[in-house]
A and B are shown apart, each in its own frame.
Chain A
Amino acid sequence: MPDKSVPIETQPARVPAQANSAFYNDPRFRAFIYQGLLVVGVVALFWWLASNAQQNLAAQNKQTGFAFLDQPAGFGISFSLIPFDRASSYLQVYFVGILNTLLVASIGIVLATMLGFVIGIARLSSNFLIRQFAAIYVETIRNMPLLLQLLFWYFLMLNALPAVRNAITLPFGIALHQRGLNLPALVPDDRFIFLAVAIVVAVIAGLVFRRWSLKQIENTGRRRPVWLPMLAIIIVPIFLVYFISGTRIAFDFPELRGFNFRGGFTAPPELTALVLGLVVYTAAFIAEIVRAGIQSVSHGQTEAASALGLKEGDRLRLVIVPQAMRVIIPPLTSQYLNLTKNSSLGAAIGFPELVNVYVGTALNQSGRAIEIIGMAMLVYLTFSLTTSIVMNWYNSRVALVER
C-alpha cells in the first residue's frame, strides 16, 4: 500500500502509438477514401453512360425530351376508363395505363385478401380435408410462375368458356362467356348524390360511435351493446334519405340481345383472366402470411385471456387478432405491392395496363425509350414509396403500442 500522503506517480495515459500506425489505417481516412472511390465510380459510370447515350441518339437522329407527350398517339386502346380515341395524346395513353393498372390492382387486392384469409384460416382448420385442400392449393399455386398461370387462365377464358349464346348466367344478369364477364352496373340518377353523401356520413358516424362505445366499455368496465346500435346508426339514415329524397336506384342489367350482351359493365376476357390469375396467385402467398401470423401468437395468450375471464369474441378481438395483425400487416402490404407490380404481366395477355400500352405500344411508336421507361418506373416508384411511408408510420404506431 502506498502512503496516502505521497501522490502516486501516475503513468501517462498511453496515447495511441501513432508512430507505427500508418495514416491509411485511420478509420476516418479509410471512410473518406472508400466513399470517395464510390462517388467517383458512380459519377464516372453515369457520365460514361450518358455520353454513350448522347452519341447513340445523335447517330440515330433521334430527338429527346417530353414534347412528344402532346402529340396524338394514333392507336386505339381496347379498354379504358376515361374517354380515349386515336386522336388522344401520349399523355392520355399514360393516364389510361395508370388507371387500368390501378383498377386491376384495387379489384385484385380486395379479392386476394378475402380468398387469402379464407385459405390461411383453412390451413389451420381442425378438419383434415379442409386443411389438406388449403395446403395443396398453396403448394401448387406458389410453385408455378405467375406468367404461366396468366397464360393458362387466359387460354381457358378464350377456349373453355362457352360462346356468348350459351353463356354461363348467374342471377342479376351476371354472365360469363368467351368475350368476358358481364356485371350489372349502377345507374345513378340526379338525386343519387344525396344518397351517396348519406352513406358516407352514416358509415363515418357508425364508426365513430363504435369507437366511442368501445372506449366507454374500457373506461367503465360495463358492457353495452356496440354492434346493433352501430348498424342502426348506419342503416336508418341511409333508408330515410333514400325515401325522402326519392332517389331511384336503377341497375343496368346485362341482357343478351342479338349476338352480344348489352348493358351493364363488361370486363373483357383479358381483364377477367388477369384479375383471376393475380387473385389466385397472390391469395396463396397471403394465406401463408395469415397462417404464420396466427401461429405466431402463442397458445399461452389464448389461455391467459380465458383465465382473465374474457369471452370468446373479446379474446379474439382484444388479444389474438391485434397480435397476429402486427405480424401479418407488413408482409401483407408488400404482397399488395407485389400484386400491383405483377399486374404489369397483363402485357403478356394483352390487357392495356401501363406497361402494355405505354412501355409497349407508345414506346414502339414514339421511340422515346429513356423518357417512357423512366416515366413508367416513376409510377411504380411512387406506389412503392407511398406504401413504405404508410408502412413506416404503421410500424412506429404498432411499436409504441407494444411496450
Chain B
Amino acid sequence: MTDTTVFVRSQMEPAALPPKRSTGLVAWLRTNLFATPGDTAMTIIAMLFVAWLVPPLWQFLVTDAVWSDPEGLRGEACRFEGVGACWVFIQGRFNFFIYGFYPVDQIWRVNVMFLLGIIFILPLLVPRAPFKRTAAVMFFLVYPVVAYFLMAGGVFGLRPVPTNFWGGLTLTLIISLIGIIASTPIGILLALGRQSKLPIIKAFCVGFIELWRAVPLITVLFMASVMFPLFMPQGVSVDNLARAIVGIILFESAYMAEVVRGGLQAMPRGQYEAAYALGLNKPKTMGLIILPQALKHVIPGIVNTFIALFKDTSLVSIIGIFELLNTVRAAGSDINWSSPTHAVTGYIFAGFVFWVFCFAMSRYSIYMERRLHTGHKR
C-alpha cells in the first residue's frame, strides 16, 4: 500500500438544521408524552384511565352530592337513588368530628387552646421569626401544662371535663402532640444509649428498642388497655387515654431512636476527636457538636416518624377512644343520618383531614431540609 489515506476533513460540513421545535408546547408534548410509539401508547392508556376515573368521581363528589339541608332532614336528605357524597352529614356533625363529646358551652376552651398553640408554634416554624427561644420554652414546657388545664378544667373556676368527653380532631392533635414532644427526647436518649460503650446500658437500650419495634402498635395498645391496670398498685386507676398515650410514646420513641441512630452513625469520627481536642467533655461534645449535626442529617426521618405517629393515633379507636376516625365511625352508625353514602363521605372527610396534616408536614420537612442543606455543599 503506497497511497496514504488521510482521515482529515478538508471542507466544513454544512451546518445541521436547527432542531425543529425544542421549546414551546409542542416540543414539551413531544418529549414528555409522545417521545416513542410506546410512550404514545402509554399516554393514550393514561388518558383513557383519566376519562374512566374522573367523571364518575366528579359526579359522586360534586354534581350528585347533597350540599345543603335547608329543611333539617338529616339522613333523609341523602336517601335517594343515585345519591352522591352526603356533605350535609359532615356539616351536621362537624362539631362532633372536631370536638368530640366536649360540652358545647365549653368549646371556647378548646378553641383558645388551638389559638395558643398556633401562636406559640408559629415563631418556631417560620425561620425568620423572632423570639425563637421564648417560643420554644413556651411551646414545649408551658403550653402542654396550660393546654391540659384548659381542656381538663378544675382550676380557675373552669368546669372539670373528664378525658372521656374529649374527642375528635382535637384529641387526635393532643395525642400526636404529646407523643411527638415526649418521644423525641426519649428516642434521642435511647439512641445515645445504644451507641454507648457501657455494656449494660447498651444492652438495655437495644432490648428496649428492638422489643417495641418488633410488635405491632395494636398489641401495645391492647397491652396498655388490658395489662397496664394489672401492673398498677391496687386502688390506683390510670385514665384510659393516658394509658394509650404511654403506649404510643414507648412505641414511637423506639422508632425515633433508630432514626437518630442513623444520624449518629453518619457522623465521622473526626467530629468527636475534634471536639475532644478542643477540651469539650462528653455532654458538651454531644450537645454542641454531634447532635446538632446528626439531627440535621435525619430531619426527613424524624418528620417521617412524626407523620407515622400522627397516622398511628387512629389506632387508639380500637381500644375505644374517640379520636377523629372513631368519631366518624360512631357518627356513621347514627340512625338519624343513615343513608347510602354518609358513611363513605365520613371516611373521605377523615382521610382528607389526615392527608392535609401529613402532607403539610412532609412538605415542611422538604423545605427545612433545603434550608439547612448548607454545610454539605462542597
The residues of A with any CB-CB pair to B shorter than 8 Å are: 31, 34-35, 38-39, 42, 49, 52-53, 55-57, 59, 125-130, 133, 139-140, 142-149, 151-152, 155-156, 159, 341-342, 344-345, 347-348, 355, 359, 363, 369-370, 373, 376-377, 380-381, 383-385, 388
Interface string of B82-117 (1 = CB under 8 A from A): 000000000000000000000000000000000000
Partner of B215, one of A49, A127, A140, A380: A380
Partner of B216, one of A52, A143, A341, A370: A341
Decide if the interface of chain A is mainly helix, strand, loop or mixed: helix
B276 interfacial by beta-carbon distance below 8 Å: no
B310 to chain A, nearest CB (A): 8
A381 to B315, CA, bound (A): 20
The residues of B with any CB-CB pair to A shorter than 8 Å are: 31-33, 35, 39, 42-43, 46-47, 49-50, 197-201, 204, 210-211, 213-219, 222-223, 226-227, 229-234, 307, 311-312, 314-315, 317-318, 325, 329, 340, 343-344, 347, 350-351, 354-355, 358-359, 362
Set of chain A residues within 8 Å of B46, measured between Cβ atoms: 127, 129-130, 133
Given contact pairs A144-B311, A373-B226, A127 touches B42 in the complex (Cβ within 8 A): yes
A151 to B315, CA, bound (A): 12
A31 to B201, CA, bound (A): 9
Partner of B219, one of A34, A126, A377, A385: A377
Please state if B214 and A385 are interface contacts (CB–CB under 8 Å).
Answer: yes
Please state if B218 and A347 are interface contacts (CB–CB under 8 Å).
Answer: yes
A168 to chain B, nearest CB (A): 15
B199 to chain A, nearest CB (A): 8
A355 to B32, CA, bound (A): 48
Given contact pairs A347-B218, A384-B214, A147 touches B317 in the complex (Cβ within 8 A): yes
Partner of A155, one of B47, B198, B233, B344: B344
Q: List 6 A-B contacts (CB under 8 A).
A: A38-B201, A52-B232, A53-B231, A56-B232, A373-B227, A384-B215
Set of chain A residues within 8 Å of B200, measured between Cβ atoms: 35, 38-39
Set of chain B residues within 8 Å of A156, measured between Cβ atoms: 344
Set of chain A residues within 8 Å of B311, measured between Cβ atoms: 143-146
A171 to B16, CA, bound (A): 56
Please state if B42 and A370 are interface contacts (CB–CB under 8 Å).
Answer: no
A80 to B290, CA, bound (A): 53
**Can you name 8 extra interface pairs (CB under 8 A) apart from A148-B325, A149-B351, A151-B325?**
A52-B230, A127-B42, A127-B43, A143-B358, A147-B325, A341-B216, A347-B318, A373-B219
Set of chain B residues within 8 Å of A342, measured between Cβ atoms: 216
